[in-house]
Amino acid sequence: MKDNRVMRKPLFNPGGDTEVKNRRLINFNTTNINDFNNMKYEWVSDWYRQAMNNFWIPEEINMNQDKSDYPMLPPEERTAYDKILSFLVYLDSLQSANLPNISQFITANEVNLCLAIQAFQECIHSQSYSYMLDTICNPTERNDILYQWKTDAHLLKRNEFIGNLYNEFIEKQDKERFLRVCIANFILEGIYFYSGFMFFYNLGRNGKMPGSVQEIRYINRDENTHLWLFRNILKELRTEEPELFDERHLAMLGDMIREGVEQEIAWGRYVIGNQIQGLNEQMVEDYIRYLGNLRYSSLGLGTLYPGYEKEPESMRWVSQYADANMVKTDFFEARSTAYAKSTAIEDDL
């Protein structure tokens, strides 16, 4: 019978294999030595440099206007802000807790390095939410937002879907569950954050909560690299474990991404609906289906939602806010915020 187990990586392992060409993402006899000159997965060098250059500090962003804007937001906009932030708090907390679990079963030290940096960035994201909440509301309101899944059934349902997928791999480590946890990560990084991001960017284009918007832009920039990391992990996995990408598994993968998309749309309807100035349900739905296509095709799998291949005209502004490298459309600084720490953390709103 075929062995489908994924083995926990050894720690102190003097008898480990030092041959770069033998290295594999899973089930390799690793020494755990961080050798930056001998990487099997060459994309790691670029990824590592980009992730390091993206370093930022949440408190360096000025939140003064947000403090006065927040109490003045229309009630539906303020409720959406709270619920979306609550979901983001959960996602980043779960990421920082789960990435080390995944890393325990990855046997390529250069990829372990990336996952450690990603986990660190998720901690910064969590801290940025804390800073935002500390600035705009009192401790009671803050706690209410942090734990809103205790009273909001829709939010709990959302958290359960991704939480259960992560738990599956904690309970048993086989190759299929490993694939599923990687896809869950890919969906989280590439789809789940986006109705949240678009809500914040919509506030931004209406001149509201500029500090929160800037925090989210830095988070979004990091999330793009996380998406890049998991896309590459999935691509390498496809080369090394081709049986995991047979027809049955590909159908499962498509179903998971479709489920993620539908959940995100349902969530958008619930938190944004047709009550927020500048957004409506149709815009959210069109954009999330487009994102589903983008993610699916980036894995080399084609189209998931025919008719949604292009970025919707009505949502152009989302990627203009989200892309830190688009110099001319950088509304805040009129120049690139990437690749240079001094400009990346500058904030003179």
Q: Nearest approach, Cβ of 17 to Fe ion (angstroms)?
A: 31
How is residue 42 written in tokens? Answer: 């060459």
CB of 91 to Fe ion, least distance (A): 7
On whether the CB atoms of residues 216 and 257 are closer than 8 A, the answer is no
Judged by CB under 5 A, the stretch of 4-12, 173-181, 226-234, 320-328 that binds Fe ion is 226-234
Per CB under 5 A, contacts with Fe ion among 175-204 are 189
Contact 301, 254 (CB under 8 A): yes
Taking the least distance from each CB to Fe ion, the nearer of 187 and 244 is: 187
Nearer to Fe ion, 131 or 305 (CB): 131
Which listed residue (9, 217, 226, 249) binds Fe ion by CB under 5 A? 226
Give the shortest CB-108-to-Fe ion separation in angstroms.
20
Place of tokens 């496809």: 238
Kindly state whether residue 323 participates in binding Fe ion, applying the rule CB under 5 A.
Answer: no
Q: Closer to Fe ion at the Cβ: 57 or 250?
A: 57
Stretch that binds Fe ion, among 34-42, 219-227, 234-242, 285-293 (CB under 5 A): 219-227
Under rule CB under 5 A, how many of the chain's residues touch Fe ion? 6
User: Could you tell me the two tokens for 22?
Assistant: 């033998």
Among 66, 69, 82, 92, contact with Fe ion (rule: CB under 5 A): 92
Q: Which is nearer to Fe ion, 24 or 158 (CB)?
A: 158
Number of C-beta neighbours around residue 274 at 10 A: 12
Q: Which two tokens stand for residue 284?
A: 């959210």
Question: Of residues 284-313, which lie at the interface with Fe ion (CB under 5 A)?
Answer: none
Smallest gap from residue 75 Cβ to Fe ion (A): 28
Query: Of these, 83, 125, 158, 231, which contacts Fe ion (CB under 5 A)?
Result: 125
Which listed range, 221-229, 256-264, 272-280, 311-319, lies at the site for Fe ion (CB under 5 A)?
Answer: 221-229
Catalytically annotated residue among 129, 194, 201, 308: 129
129 is catalytic: yes
Q: Footprint of Fe ion on residues 143-172 (CB under 5 A)?
A: none
- Binding pattern for the stretch 34-53 against Fe ion, x by CB under 5 A and - elsewhere: --------------------
Which residues are designated catalytic?
A: 129
Binding residues vs Fe ion (CB under 5 A): 92, 122, 125, 189, 223, 226
